[in-house]
Amino acid sequence: MNRRESHVSPRDPVVGGVLVRLADDPAHRQAALTTLAEHPAITLGEAIGDWWTLAVEAENASEGRDLHSWIATVPGVDWVEVVSVHFEGMAEEAGPSPAVEVMA
């Protein structure tokens, strides 16, 4: 067993379903919606109850995580929840545990 090797393979897009809760203030809400809608990787869905639905598209998992973090920082966004991840190619990214890295 080789516990040291590492694998990263070609990837497909990562597509996530996301819920955001926006601020109560109408101006802040509108500003947030505009910012989110303008982002090329985000598809704005509809308002349901307290939530807005988003589809978030990224070229890989790392970019997806960054995008998730960015959404949380958009002024007027109070709360972000990820509810689904479609990761057809991401399974190929999974690697072994980085078992015995040596501290330099």
Residues that bind other proteins (CB under 8 A): 1-3, 5, 7-8, 13, 15-19, 21, 33, 37-38, 42-46, 48-51, 53-57, 61-62, 64-65, 69, 78-79, 81-88, 90-101, 103-104
Q: Which is nearer to other proteins, 21 or 28 (CB)?
A: 21
Least Cβ distance, residue 67 to other proteins (angstroms): 12
Surface-to-core class of residue 12, CB atoms within 10 Å of its CB (0-12 exposed, 13-18 middle, 19+ buried) = middle
- Tokens coding 65: 């995580």
Residue 57 C-alpha from the chain's centroid = 8
CB of 10 to other proteins, least distance (A): 14
Q: How far is the CB of 66 from other proteins (least distance, A)?
A: 11
Hey, what amino acid is at 13? P
How far is Cα 85 from Cα 83, in angstroms, rounded to an integer? 7
